[in-house]
Structure 1
Amino acid sequence: MRMFKRLATIVGALSLVFVLGACGKSSSSSASKSYTPKKLTVQFVPSSNASTIEAKAKPLEGLLKKQLGIPVKVSVSTDYNTIVEAMGSKKVDVGFLPPDAYVLAHKQYNAKVLLKAQRYGYKEPNDQVTNTLVNSYKAQILVRKDSGIKSIKDLKGKKIAVQDTTSSAGWIYPIVELYRHGININKDNIKTVQVKGHDQAVMAVYNGDADAAFVFQGARLLVQKDAKDVMKKVVPIYTTKEIPNDTITVRGDMSSKWDKKISNAFKAIAKTKKGHAIISSVYSHENYVTAKDSDYNAIRSYDKTAKKLNK
């Protein structure tokens, strides 16, 4: 009996050591997954001319370094998928991701959304900018006014300039809403041509290289300086439902401490004269507010339908 009690005591002690050891290992493992950057890499997507965006965004390096106290490198990815993969392979710490790219990065690599952009809203049909800040935007289908294309049903058999298949405004929302109106992007003799940047999509229509284009509302303003009559010659025939605004997203293993530091840095920069001028010139961002993953559930709903069409 005494021997049994002694064995029980030994087993109990060993079990406790095992449990404590496992907890310590788990805690250590968890801590090792928490990333603290020594140099921050920030990347943008080419919603318009990539070299132009990089030139406009470069000054953020100095502003972020001042806020965060570490070196910062700003660059522009070649396309939407590239930045998602770069964040997944931990080559990029912070991404200015459009909504669909964020959803993909979160699903594949557990990327975390920190902030969502606010922009000024637009009035149709001439994209007049209002002074109301909004948390969403819309996509439009543009055509030449003299094309004879009056409605989305006229798009059958036509050539459309589009963005990457992870672009909410340049692909996802337009093809899903066309589908809901009885038009299948892959089965109605529609030819698509992928261009880099919504400005290039507008110009493809303007120059007659495409019959239509999928763009974000306000994209015509990007080329108005070079094509002064673009608002008259290129017009919208369809506007989608609201799309959640762009994100500032970090890699999945970023520490919570740095989540806060990065969020606070971008919020502070947006409120300075110089910082505001930069974010406004790059993506027409006016402000940043805290975001959560569920803000992008609408994107997930559209994605389900888009995947059926992309097969």
Structure 2
Amino acid sequence: MKKLFTVLLMLMLAIALVACGASDEETTVKPDSEPTDDSGEESAEASEDLPDELIMGFVPSQDSDKIADTVAPLADRLSEELGIPVTGQVMTNYTALVEAMGNDRVHIGFIPAFGYVLATERYDNVEAILKSVRHGSSTYRAQYTVRADSGIESIEDLEGKVWAFPDNVSTSGYLFPAAQLMDDYGVDAVEDFFSDMIQAGSHDNALIMVLEGDADVSTTFEDARTAIEGDYPEAMDELVQLDFTADIPNDTISANTNLPASFIEDIRAAFLAFNDDEEMLTIMDEVYNWTGIDEASDEDYDVVRSTYEKFKDDGTISLD
């Protein structure tokens, strides 16, 4: 009996040791079977946040079909750099581009300074990440252009004339010239100063209207005559620079902030790398006369915001 008890005791101990061994093994294996970090999960989530196609929005500074053809190689290169299909889309005007960005239909917008200010006032998902450089400067001026044989010699002589401008939300085409007329020349309302005001749809068209006698003066970026010289070689002689406005911060490359922050940084880096790529710089020059790309911040455009305050409540400028 005593011997049987001993055998039973040893058997129970053996069973207990096996159970403990099995328990210890499960505790050790379990952590190894789980991910030790969540980087893969985060990467998957970021990928899910990306659109199937990245849309770049442009406004017409020249013929829309010409811009579309010109930006195609830019879109192709960005697609290679970012690993996602990229398409350039030419909008009808600044307002259409701003609305498309605000409603997530455009992810990268080439937005002039004033259009950017309007975009940030109306939407919270638009942010300037870069700005253009033209001939070594990140600022520019608006230019008043008249025919050389017009007899117009000063801005005061423009009273009662026909004004052609690209769009009423164009920084150089409308906002800064209108503000200068009000501040420096005592003009209460620009629509009363001119006999007629024509939205031409682009800087090129505004100049061509003056060249062909359909308007007396146009306001554009400086010097937009070079953009039409190929088709109108007489432009440099028959159109003259009457005057200029104060400095304006250059156009933005703005991002839709509903994109992942890390992807926006990839976009910023890809564009900045174009400063060392002659092919891409040539494309930027052909589209908007850009000769380089620089960092930008929202605060760079506060001077435009302060100018906008002159028109904010008079109903002449809106995105509606």
Structure 2 length-normalised TM: 0.80
Query: Which secondary structure does the structure 2 equivalent of 1:164 belong to?
Result: coil
Following superposition, the deviation at residue 265 of structure 1 comes to: 0.9
Query: For the structure 1 residues 38 and 189, does the alpha-carbon distance in structure 2 shift closer, same or farther, using more than 3 Å as the test?
Result: closer
Q: Is the 8 A contact 1:186 1:309 kept in 2?
A: no
Matched, 1:150 2:153: yes
Kindly report which structure 2 residues correspond to 1:13-28, keeping only aligned pairs within 5 A, or say none.
Answer: none
Match of 2:186 among 175, 182, 186: 182
Query: For the structure 1 residues 293 and 192, does the alpha-carbon distance in structure 2 shift closer, same or farther, using more than 3 Å as the test?
Result: same
Following superposition, the deviation at residue 201 of structure 1 comes to: 1.0
Following superposition, the deviation at residue 70 of structure 1 comes to: 0.8
Match in the other structure for 1:205: 210
Match in the other structure for 2:219: 214
Matched, 1:53 2:67: yes
Following superposition, the deviation at residue 304 of structure 1 comes to: 0.8
Instruction: Provide the identity percentage.
Output: 35
Matched, 1:69 2:60: no
Whose radius of gyration is greater, 1 or 2? 2
Aligned CA RMSD, in angstroms, stands at 1.7
Following superposition, the deviation at residue 310 of structure 1 comes to: 4.6
Distance in 2 (CA, whole Å) between partners of 1:168 and 1:53 is: 20
Deviation per residue, 1:56-87 (Å, 9 max, x gap): 01111210011001111111111100010001
Matched, 1:117 2:120: no
Match in the other structure for 1:136: 139
The code of the aligned residue for 1:302 comes to: T
Match in the other structure for 1:91: 105
Distance in 2 (CA, whole Å) between partners of 1:243 and 1:48 is: 21
Paired residues, number = 268
Match of 1:304 among 298, 309, 318: 309
Matched, 1:225 2:230: yes
Following superposition, the deviation at residue 285 of structure 1 comes to: 1.3
Following superposition, the deviation at residue 153 of structure 1 comes to: 1.0
Deviation per residue, 1:224-253 (Å, 9 max, x gap): 122222222111221001110011101132
Matched, 1:44 2:58: yes
Q: Is the 8 A contact 2:82 2:266 kept in 1?
A: yes
Distance in 1 (CA, whole Å) between partners of 2:253 and 2:151 is: 40
Q: Is the 8 A contact 1:170 1:215 kept in 2?
A: yes
Query: Which secondary structure does the structure 2 equivalent of 1:186 belong to?
Result: helix
Query: For the structure 1 residues 308 and 141, does the alpha-carbon distance in structure 2 shift closer, same or farther, using more than 3 Å as the test?
Result: farther
Distance in 1 (CA, whole Å) between partners of 2:250 and 2:237 is: 27
Kindly report which structure 2 residues correspond to 1:167-178, keeping only aligned pairs within 5 A, or say none.
Answer: 167-178=170-181
Match in the other structure for 2:243: 238
Structure 1 length-normalised TM: 0.82
The code of the aligned residue for 2:68 comes to: E
